[in-house]
């Protein structure tokens, strides 16, 4: 009798595993604590509890999340709202379904020796800027300040920055793009002291835009089964994020275990996770319409070359998070 019961139990487990729904998540960048919530959700079995089998696909300098989505290579992607809205206006109908990050970690980090003490001192200087969709908040900020980006004496020269801090270390630029949780600390680790730097956080300057939201293709949301799968995914992901906030060192260790490149270090990831927790704090996963409207307003303030030419429609939905938070 026991043999039959055991067999039935195994059959049930097999059926449950077979019924797991596959989800492909495309990250915006490489495996690091910036995405800890997803790795934690997978490691802790939060996805499995929802009946999901999630594949987390790292990004990199040669991987554009929007292109992956356009080619059907992922179900959901992590991206910044400026990039997603720009892609939407160009014909790729991405929709924000959740917003784990409440605050922006983006800033400009400048050498104090250049004499820069405020944004008005940017004129005539060379500033390092990330591209590939990351340039949009910067360009909007310069437009707000009415500072041309044409390299003129009254404007700034834009240096297309790689994803490193070399332009600052080699003094090719007065300022470079950094994140509070990553590149800023690379500058410090290179031997430059905090008092030798001047930083401008986009949040403090009133030009912060939403980062690291979750996006899907609009047509997929018309499928109730897909929408329900995303509800489960968001619910488990936010559980992972809140666990990561409360257990930052453990979360960093989980990220390191998933870093197949071996490029990340324990010190860097634990420090990064501590900073990331500040950005996800206060978010339950639901996008705040006020934050969305602020981002749109900033992106439209681009003078003759705005990031988007008109306020988008249907670029986000609260239906997924409303259901996930029940």
Annotation: CATH topology of 2-103+210-324: D-Maltodextrin-Binding Protein; domain 2 (3.40.190)
**In contact, 233 and 42? CB cutoff 8 Å:** no
Model pLDDT, residue 12: 46
Domain ranges of the chain: 2-103+210-324, 106-201
Joined tokens for residue 257: 């275990």
Query: Other C-beta atoms within 10 Å of 259: how many?
Result: 16
Model pLDDT, residue 44: 98
Could you report the per-residue pLDDT of 215-233, keeping only the tens digit for each?
999 999 999 999 999 999 9
pLDDT class of 131 with cuts at 50, 70, 90: confident
Could you report the per-residue pLDDT of 1-58, keeping only the tens digit for each?
455 545 545 444 444 455 899 999 999 999 999 999 999 999 999 999 999 999 999 9
pLDDT class of 306 with cuts at 50, 70, 90: confident
Could you report the per-residue pLDDT of 242-294, keeping only the tens digit for each?
999 999 999 999 999 999 999 999 999 999 999 999 999 999 999 999 999 99
Model pLDDT, residue 144: 85
- Coil/strand/helix, residue 163: coil
pLDDT class of 307 with cuts at 50, 70, 90: confident
User: Nearest-CA neighbor of 273 among 40, 25, 110, 56?
Assistant: 40
- Coil/strand/helix, residue 156: coil
Phi and psi torsions of 94, nearest 5°:
-80, 145
Taking the C-alpha atoms of residue 205 and residue 166, their distance in angstroms, rounded to an integer, is: 25
Q: Work out the mean pLDDT of the chain and round it to a whole number.
A: 92
So what CATH class is 106-201? alpha beta
The better pLDDT of the pair 119, 9 is held by 119
Q: How many residues does the chain have?
A: 326
pLDDT of 97 higher than 50: yes
Model pLDDT, residue 304: 59
Could you report the per-residue pLDDT of 159-190, keeping only the tens digit for each?
999 989 999 999 999 999 999 999 999 999 99
DSSP line for 288-314: PHHHHHHHHHHHH--TTS-SSSS--SS
**In contact, 137 and 207? CB cutoff 8 Å:** yes
Q: Which residues pair with 199 in a beta bridge?
A: 109
- Among the listed ranges 37-46, 127-136, 201-210, 220-229, which one has the minimum average pLDDT value? 127-136
pTM over 0.85? The answer is: yes
Residues in Cβ contact with 314 at an 8 Å cutoff, skipping those fewer than 6 apart: 93, 95, 218
The better pLDDT of the pair 305, 80 is held by 80
- Coil/strand/helix, residue 31: coil
Model pLDDT, residue 6: 53
* Common-topology check for domains 2-103+210-324 and 106-201: yes
Secondary structure tally for the chain: helices H, strands E = 13, 10
Question: Across residues 133-151, what is the average pLDDT?
Answer: 88
pLDDT of 317 higher than 90: yes
Model pLDDT, residue 303: 61
Sign of the Cα pseudo-torsion (274, 268, 257, 229, in order)? positive
């Amino acid at each position: 009798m026991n043999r039959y019961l055991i067999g039935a139990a195994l059959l049930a487990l097999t059926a449950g595993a077979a019924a797991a729904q596959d989800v492909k998540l495309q990250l915006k960048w490489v495996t690091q604590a910036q995405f800890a919530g997803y790795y934690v959700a997978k490691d802790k079995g939060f996805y499995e509890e929802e009946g999901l089998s999630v594949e987390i696909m790292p990004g990199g300098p040669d991987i554009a999340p929007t292109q992956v989505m356009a080619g059907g290579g992922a179900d959901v992607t992590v991206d910044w709202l400026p990039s997603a809205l720009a892609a939407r206006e160009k014909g790729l109908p991405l929709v924000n379904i959740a917003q784990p990050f409440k605050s922006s970690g983006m800033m400009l980090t400048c050498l104090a020796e250049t004499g820069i003490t405020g944004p008005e001192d940017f004129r005539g200087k060379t500033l390092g800027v990330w591209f590939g969709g990351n340039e949009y908040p910067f360009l909007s900020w310069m437009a707000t300040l009415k500072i041309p980006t044409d390299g003129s004496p009254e404007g700034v020269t834009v240096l297309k920055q790689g994803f490193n801090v070399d332009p600052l270390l080699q003094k090719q630029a007065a300022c470079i793009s950094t994140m509070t949780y990553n590149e800023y600390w690379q500058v410090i680790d290179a031997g430059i002291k905090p008092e030798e730097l001047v930083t401008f956080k986009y949040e403090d300057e009133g030009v912060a835009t939403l980062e690291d939201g979750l996006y899907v293709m609009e047509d997929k949301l018309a499928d109730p089964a897909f929408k329900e799968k995303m509800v489960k995914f968001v619910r488990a992901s936010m559980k992972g994020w809140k666990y990561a906030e409360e257990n930052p060192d453990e979360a960093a260790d989980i990220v390191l275990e998933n870093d197949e490149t071996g490029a990340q270090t324990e010190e860097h990831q634990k420090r990064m996770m501590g900073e990331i927790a500040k950005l996800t704090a206060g978010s339950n996963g639901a996008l705040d319409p006020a934050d969305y409207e602020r981002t749109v307003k900033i992106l439209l303030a681009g003078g003759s070359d705005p990031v988007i030419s008109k306020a988008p429609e249907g670029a986000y939905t609260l239906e997924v998070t409303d259901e996930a938070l029940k």
